[in-house]
Amino acid sequence: MPHSLPHSGGGLAPPARIGKVAFLGYGRFGAALGSLLHDAGISVRAFDPSAEIRGAARAASLPELVDGADLVLVAVPVPAVREALLALRPHLAPGQLVADVGSVKSVPASAMAEVLGEGRPWVATHPLFGPASLARGERPLRVVVCPNPTHPGAVRRVVALFERIGCQVLEQAPEEHDRVMAFTHALAFFIAKGMMDAGVPAGAPYAPPSFQGIAHTIETVRVDAGHLFAALHRENPFAGEARRRLIDALVAVDRSLDVPTKDAAPEDLAALAIPDLGALSPELRETRELIDDLDLELVGLLARRAELVQRAGRAKATIGAAVRDPVREARLMESRRRCALELGLDPDGVAEVFEVILRHSRSLQERRSAV
């Protein structure tokens, strides 16, 4: 599973700051990422004969593109990465970083290792966002960065760059990344493509809530599938296995659905069952059980608190005090907020919980005083 990369520490010097980024390839994604970098105060230059690049960002040639750049981002389709690296290599200065941004990692990582080798620092990355998600303002932005023992300093610099533009950076080896993407990213596009070809009405106004997530996926694929769909499946070495497993599972479900309920064998009924998430993960099931136990404890504590509240109500009635004590409530809320902060909880969220508890407490005392 991917995990967050640690910040530079343990005596390591901070990575050298990347201030100038050159894009080899400036299609929709390259331009979107370039805009993010530019907004963060990073100089951007791009070279792409097939794209319209305006102003000072446009480079007329590869030598002009890489001149003075700290990082060259190869933002071309995955099948074209090796050819792009071969064209780029003669123009690179010593120490210039090279990174790719492809949705598949095994192929670009192998190409960079072959073409750039140990002499030129390189990093394989996959930003897990695109122009559509950026336009919708989706957050957090996440990026997978593949470890590179040959060039660890380059990895640290690229991680620092992505963090500067507000990204959460995850570490994952190329093959592990591709296996996960085969069963997530690639299959999502595969399913959406099949549903589009089947004529599924993604925009139906009466579609149930359970379909909205699928409709969102279909719309995303409509935006990106033209340049991503084939590459996600043809370049990812695990995509074929993912498709076959999905198709086999769907065929088995389809066959079981054709069997009348009265004639269904146990295996047919099992094939139609949708397992609870807890059944898929013993850890999740155990965690849910522990949460249930804690919830019962919380209810018991609330019952004990209610008894004390009623006792306080009787004492107030004896001395003629009002049910509501704004000064006491303000102190209580401030104390609970402070405690929440010390425990790493959201003070506002904890305050909302105690607002409900206080309303219930006042209600108990008011009912008693009305008797």
- Would you say residue 369 has pLDDT above 60? yes
Choose the weakest-confidence range: 77-91, 221-235, 323-337.
221-235
Chain segment 164-191, per-residue pLDDT in tens: 999 999 999 999 999 999 999 999 999 9
Q: Which CATH number fits domain 3-171: 3.40.50.10310, 3.40.50.720, 1.20.120.160, 3.20.20.80?
A: 3.40.50.720
Half-sphere exposure of residue 343: CA atoms within 13 angstroms, side-chain side:
11
Chain segment 137-157, per-residue pLDDT in tens: 888 899 999 999 999 999 999
Chain segment 297-324, per-residue pLDDT in tens: 999 999 999 999 999 999 998 898 998 8
Chain segment 98-124, per-residue pLDDT in tens: 999 999 999 999 999 999 999 999 999
Question: Measured between alpha carbons, how far is 341 from 350 in angstroms, rounded to an integer?
Answer: 9
Identity at 204, one-letter amino acid code: A
- Classify the C-alpha dihedral 356-358-362-364 as positive or negative: positive
What's the CA angle centered on 184, arms 178 and 190, to 5 degrees? Answer: 105
What's the CA angle centered on 238, arms 236 and 241, to 5 degrees? Answer: 135
Which helix (H) or strand (E) segment is 4 a member of? strand 3-4
pLDDT band at 208 (very low <50, low <70, confident <90, very high): confident
Chain segment 243-280, per-residue pLDDT in tens: 999 999 999 899 888 888 888 787 777 777 777 766 66
Would you kindly state where each structural domain of the chain is located, as residue ranges?
A: 3-171, 179-272, 291-370
Question: Measured between alpha carbons, how far is 23 from 45 in angstroms, rounded to an integer?
Answer: 6
Half-sphere exposure of residue 74: CA atoms within 13 angstroms, side-chain side:
31
Give Cα separations from 319 to 16, 77, 88, 322, 328 (angstroms). 70, 80, 86, 9, 17
Q: Is the backbone peptide bond immediately before 140 cis, with ω within 30 degrees of 0?
A: yes
pLDDT band at 8 (very low <50, low <70, confident <90, very high): very low
Query: Pick the residue with more confidence: 19 or 367?
Result: 19
The CATH architecture of the domain made up of 291-370 is Up-down Bundle (1.20)
Over range 21-41, report the average pLDDT: 95
pLDDT band at 6 (very low <50, low <70, confident <90, very high): very low
Over range 115-136, report the average pLDDT: 90
